[in-house]
Amino acid sequence: MTTRVWQWDNGVCGVSGEPWTGVRYFCTWRAGGVSAAPWDSLNLGLHVDDDPEAVARNRARLSAGLPAEPLWLDQVHGTAVYEAALPVAAAPCADAAVTTQRGRPLAIMTADCLPVILADDAGTVLGAAHAGWRGLLAGVLENTLRAMRRQTPHARGWRAWIGPGIGPTAFEVGDEVRAAFVRQAPLADCFVPGTRPGHWLADLPGLAAWRLARAGVGRVEASGECTYTRADRYFSYRRQVRTGRQASVAWLV
């Protein structure tokens, strides 16, 4: 597990992982923006009742360090994948995006769900996915990889970075969530008894890593950052329902 800190001159900062051939990627921290509490300060979500002007200024601060304005998605905890070939007038309704265009940043907003960045070893195709437990269970990561393979059928070798999300000591789910995953595969080691009867602590990054490996991703790296426990760095919906969103951004170079 390797963590690297990203920081723009204007105060926007975040965390990344190991260097990748042909790819730049990172997840923002909540510092460096202009939003007031409880969205303080670099809230990048327009759907959380923050002042739209503040969000626009925050997004402009982020974009100042990028090769172009990111592709923002209207995320709905689904499995749709948007193939980002051209500029769009409005955020596409999807929970993942893929591109082969260099300098085209993809963005995933989260506040406990996992952002997952994917690429081939040569850095010719890029994917970014929003993976909460519903999306993981329904196959959003597998759908993203299928879309990437369609765009680059000759690509060889796959890698993924699982960005900051709620960690295995903080994510408590009911019997029905555990049962749904275990029905698909023997993943009992990703669940340990929770603090209440009929509840379990779920290892969401572990579930994502298992599904990525099963889909053919040879190298999977996890940030190890828990959004719930790091209130100084991340927004967390479970910690505080009225809160902002950080973004994981990636682009081909």
How far apart, in whole angstroms, are the C-alpha atoms of residue 223 and residue 138? 23
Provide the b/e sequence for 231-252 (b: ≥16 CB within 10 Å).
Answer: eebbbbbebeeebbbbbbbbbb
Kindly state the helix (H) or strand (E) to which residue 55 belongs, with its residue range.
helix 52-63
Residue 96: per-residue pLDDT: 98
Average pLDDT over residues 99-118: 98
- Summarize pLDDT for 219-247 with one digit per residue, the tens: 999 999 999 999 999 999 999 999 999 99
Distance CA 80, CA 92 (A): 10
pLDDT of residue 240: 96
Which one is the CATH code of 23-252: 1.10.10.10, 3.60.140.10, 2.30.110.10, 3.40.50.970?
3.60.140.10
Strands (E), the chain: 4-7, 13-16, 23-28, 81-83, 96-99, 106-110, 114-120, 126-131, 158-162, 172-174, 191-193, 199-202, 219-222, 246-252
Question: Quick check: 87 pLDDT over 80?
Answer: no
Query: Any residues with CB less than 8 A from the CB of 164 and at least 6 apart, and which?
Result: 15, 27, 110, 115, 223, 225, 226, 227, 230, 233, 234, 246, 248
pLDDT band of 8, cuts 50, 70, 90: confident
Phi, psi of 197 (to 5 degrees): -55, 140
3-class SS of residue 178:
helix
What pLDDT does 215 receive?
96
SS3 96: strand
72: left (phi over 0), alpha (psi -120 to 50) or beta: beta
pLDDT score for 42: 98
| Residues in Cβ contact with 99 at an 8 Å cutoff, skipping those fewer than 6 apart | 71, 83, 84, 85, 106, 125, 126, 252
Structure confidence by residue, pLDDT tens digits, 169-208: 999 999 999 999 999 887 878 999 999 999 999 999 999 9
Residue range 64-80: average pLDDT?
A: 96
Fill in the amino acid letter for 77. H
Q: How far is CA 78 from CA 17, 143, 218, 238, in A?
A: 26, 11, 25, 20
For residue 89, name the pLDDT band (cuts at 50, 70, 90). confident
Computed over every residue of the chain, the mean pLDDT equals 95
What pairs with residue 163 in β-bridges? Answer: none
- pLDDT band of residue 88 (cuts 50, 70, 90) is confident
How much is the pLDDT for 199? 97
